[in-house]
Amino acid sequence: MAAAGAAVLLFRRLTPVLLLLLLLLLLTKSLLLTLLLLRLLLRLLLRLLLRLLLLLLLLLLLLLLLLLVLLLRLILALLAASG
């Protein structure tokens, strides 16, 4: 849940920058400047995607840790019940 909240905050923070770059891209007459702005836009999008991927990976690791703890508690409960 926290990872999703962090992703939403990150997206909200980067959205005005991305919209400004798109507006500049549409208003630009120079091909070189357009290509440079497009390159910057793609870098920002890649950075956003990498952060979201890292957040998802962290969430997956936390879920795996939770499953491991639950499995360990189950094994300990079964050992206590049998012995």
List of long-range contacts for 13-21, beta carbons under 8 Å, 24+ apart: 14/44, 14/48, 17/44, 18/44, 18/45
Q: Which domain holds residue 43?
A: 2-82
How many domains, in total, are found in the chain? 1
- What global pTM score does this model have? 0.54
* Residue 43 tokens, joined: 């870098």
pLDDT tens per residue across all 83 residues of the chain: 666 776 667 677 777 777 777 777 777 777 677 778 778 888 988 998 999 999 999 999 999 999 999 999 999 999 999 97
C-alpha to C-alpha distance for 13 and 10, rounded to whole angstroms: 5
One DSSP character per residue, 29-46 reads --HHHHHHHHHHHHHHHH
